[in-house]
Every structure is written in C-alpha cells, then in structure tokens.
Amino acid sequence: GVTQSPTHLIKTRGQQVTLRCSSQSGHNTVSWYQQALGQGPQFIFQYYREEENGRGNFPPRFSGLQFPNDSSELNVNALELDDSALYLCASSSGLGSYEQYFGPGTRLTVT
C-alpha cells in the first residue's frame, strides 16, 4: 500500500517542511492533496515519471519531487499558519488511470 511519514509534525511559522510518501509498487504517478479542517481534500500537484504533470491553486512555495524508487516528497517553504492541514498522497498506475490509492496522511500543525 501507500505509506506516508511522518504521521504528525509541528512546525513554526516561517520554517520549511518535507513530507514523504512511498507509492504502491509499480505505480509511476503520485498526487498530493491538502485537507484543511472542514474541507474536502484539495489537489496540490501530480508527478509522473519524476516530472510535474499538473498543479492546483497552490503557490510556488509548495514543491515536490518524485524519485525512481516509487517514493516522493512534498516540500513547503516559509510555512504559514493556514498550511496547518492533513496532507495526503495518492499513487496510480499511470496518467489517465482513474483509480488512485491513498496513504493515511501526515498531519501538519504550524504554530
């Protein structure tokens, strides 16, 4: 399955954070979502074969990396209080594949 680390973390405003995701074996596409309190998950971006394929309405301080070994990272610079949320990653078997498999998420709190 899809795994994420860490489970929880607390950061201070202005700091930088890296969240990690390990995709399901054989999946070459990973998407990241942010779920703020009371909202549905919002699309941040998608990576396919280590290249960004699409991006939602998030500023450039949200960036990502995808590695050949099915792992990926979400990096957020200059953290703001509103970045406090649950961050989900989802993997799929390729572009145009409807089915996305989610990890349990990382809970980020910015103080």
Partner 1 sequence: ILNVEQSPQSLHVQEGDSTNFTCSFPSSNFYALHWYRWETAKSPEALFVMTLNGDEKKKGRISATLNTKEGYSYLYIKGSQPEDSATYLCASYGGSQGNLIFGKGTKLSVKP
Binding site for partner 1 (CB under 8 A): 1-2, 29, 31, 33, 38-43, 46, 48, 53-56, 88, 90, 92, 95-96, 98-105
Residue 42 vs 63, nearer CB to partner 1? 42
Residue 43 vs 65, nearer CB to partner 1? 43
Neighbouring C-beta atoms of residue 111, cutoff 10 Å = 10
E strands, the chain, where? 3-5, 8-11, 17-22, 29-35, 42-48, 51-55, 62-66, 71-76, 85-92, 101-102, 106-110
Q: How far is the CB of 5 from partner 1 (least distance, A)?
A: 14
Both tokens of 22, joined, read 């390990």
Q: How far is the CB of 61 from partner 1 (least distance, A)?
A: 19
Residues in the chain: 111
Residue 76 vs 89, nearer CB to partner 1? 89
